[in-house]
Structure 1
Amino acid sequence: MGGYLFSIVLTVHVLVGVGVIGLVLLQHGKGADAGAAFGSGASGSLFGASGSANFLSRTTAALATVFFITSLSLSYLGSRAVSAPSNVMERAAPAPVDAAPAPAKGASGEGDSKLNAIPK
């Protein structure tokens, strides 16, 4: 269940992040207001002369709040300890680690000297 919740919150987080970026890029800067005063066509927009700025700024603030909440949720979900294993392979005991194999003896049967490993 925790893996699905993490994936859902992560997906929402990424989508909200892209939305915040898009909304910030759509908004006009402070210098654009002087151009709007001389009739740059902002009064003919969908939301009116000042309605678009108000709508975009409120939507950006709402998405930023959701982004902040999903960031905290992801940090909480990512820091929780993993409980029981979720599949059979994780439940299986790890294979025992065998001791290193005994070194092969040379042709003369004397220990593991490198000189004895050279064929004669």
Structure 2
Amino acid sequence: MLYEVLLVAYLIVALLLIGFVLIQQGKGADMGASFGAGGSNTVFGSSGSGNFMTRTTAILATLFFFISLTIGSMTANTDKEVDSFQNIDIPVQDVQPAEPLPMSDIPNVGTPVDELETSDVPATEDEPESSDEPN
């Protein structure tokens, strides 16, 4: 139960961390604002956005690493089920080939093979018979 809760929390923290990193301004964004680009007007004020975003990113990153280490330590001591193909301790059983059936046990389906047509294309009545002599 705890493992599933940690996985959900891990997913939420990872998505929030990605979102906060993408929202943040780069280091060169203040340079444009100082020359009148108007980028300094933010929702949190000119200096408040940096502190809020930086702290939130740091907290989310810390949670992300903590949950990662917790999930890793929970799954590190579990034994995996061994697949039958990976277990080489059990020897393979010797299988005897099946004996062929005697000819008298093969059922007769009717028409012998010699009497069957060998062509897959049906013959049409309109075609003239071909001759071996060239024209």
Fold-level similarity (TM above 0.5) = yes
Residue number in structure 2 paired with 1:57: 54
1:7 alignment partner AA: E
The 3 A distance-change label for structure 1 pair 64 and 101 is same
Number of paired residues?
91
> Structure 1 residue 118: deviation in Å?
4.2
The question of 1:69 aligning with 2:55 is answered: no
The question of 1:28 aligning with 2:14 is answered: no
TM-score where L is the length of structure 1: 0.65
2:2 alignment partner AA: L
Is the Cα–Cα contact under 8 Å of residues 16 and 60 in structure 2 kept in the other structure?
yes
Q: Choose between structure 1 and 2: higher helix proportion.
A: 1
The question of 1:10 aligning with 2:4 is answered: no
Distance in 1 (CA, whole Å) between partners of 2:28 and 2:21 is: 15
Residue number in structure 2 paired with 1:48: 45
Residues 17-58 of structure 1: per-residue CA shift (max 9 Å, x gap)? 000100000000111111121334445423210110111011
The 3 A distance-change label for structure 1 pair 55 and 61 is same
Is the Cα–Cα contact under 8 Å of residues 42 and 49 in structure 1 kept in the other structure?
no
Is the Cα–Cα contact under 8 Å of residues 42 and 48 in structure 1 kept in the other structure?
no
What's the C-alpha RMSD, in Å, of the aligned pairs?
2.4
Larger Rg: 2
The one of 88, 94, 99 aligned to 1:113? 99
Q: Percent identity?
A: 42
Is the Cα–Cα contact under 8 Å of residues 30 and 40 in structure 2 kept in the other structure?
no
Distance in 2 (CA, whole Å) between partners of 1:43 and 1:113 is: 88
Residue number in structure 2 paired with 1:91: none
Distance in 1 (CA, whole Å) between partners of 2:30 and 2:56 is: 20
List structure 1 runs of 4+ shifted beyond 6 angstroms.
99-103
Distance in 2 (CA, whole Å) between partners of 1:102 and 1:73 is: 52
The 3 A distance-change label for structure 1 pair 101 and 41 is same
> Structure 1 residue 10: deviation in Å?
0.6
Distance in 2 (CA, whole Å) between partners of 1:13 and 1:41 is: 37
1:28 alignment partner AA: Q
